[in-house]
A = this chain, B = another copy of it.
Amino acid sequence: MESEHLEILAMIVEKGGLTEGAEALHKSQPSVSRTISLLEQRVGAALFEPGRRPLRPTELGASLARLGSRIHALNTEARQLVERYRKGQAGRLRIGGTPIFMDGVMAAMIAEFQNHHQDVHFEQSYGYLETLVTQLRNGTLDLAILPLHPSQIPQDMEFISLLTGRNVIACRSGHPLTRKGMITLADIEPFPWIAPPADSPLYRDLQRALVSIGVEDFRVNFSGGTFASIASVLAGSDSLTVLPYSVVFQTRKMTQLEALPLKIEHPNRQLGLLVPKEQAAAPALAHFKTFIAAQCSNLEARIQHEQQVTRRRG
Contacts and interface: CB of A to CB of B under 8 A. Distances in A.
A86 interface: yes
Contact of A280 (B46, B64, B85): B46
A82 B283 CA distance: 43
Interface string A1-29: 11110110000000000000000000000
Given A4-B3, A4-B4, A86-B45, A81 B59 contact: no
Given A60-B82, A60-B85, A45 B3 contact: no
B75 A6 contact: yes
Given A3-B4, A4-B3, A75 B71 contact: yes
A260 B50 CA distance: 50
Contacts of A280: 45-46, 50
Interface in A20-46: 43-46
B77 A67 contact: yes
A91 interface: yes
A79 interface: yes
Q: DSSP majority for the A interface?
A: helix
B1 A4 contact: no
Nearest to A69: B74
B74 A3 contact: yes
B3 A44 contact: no
Contacts of A1: 75, 78-79, 82
Q: Which of A1, A43, A45, A74 has the most CB of B within 10 A?
A: A74
Nearest to A93: B59
A70 interface: yes
A71 B3 contact: yes
Interface string A97-132: 000000000000000000000000100000000000
B86 A78 contact: no
A74 B77 contact: no
Contacts of A59: 91-92, 121, 282
Nearest to A1: B79
Contacts of A82: 1, 43-45, 60, 64
A212 interface: no
Contacts of A92: 59
5 contacts: A1-B82, A6-B74, A46-B280, A60-B282, A67-B81
Given A2-B75, A44-B86, A67-B74, 8 more contacts: A3-B75, A4-B4, A45-B280, A46-B280, A59-B282, A60-B91, A60-B282, A74-B74
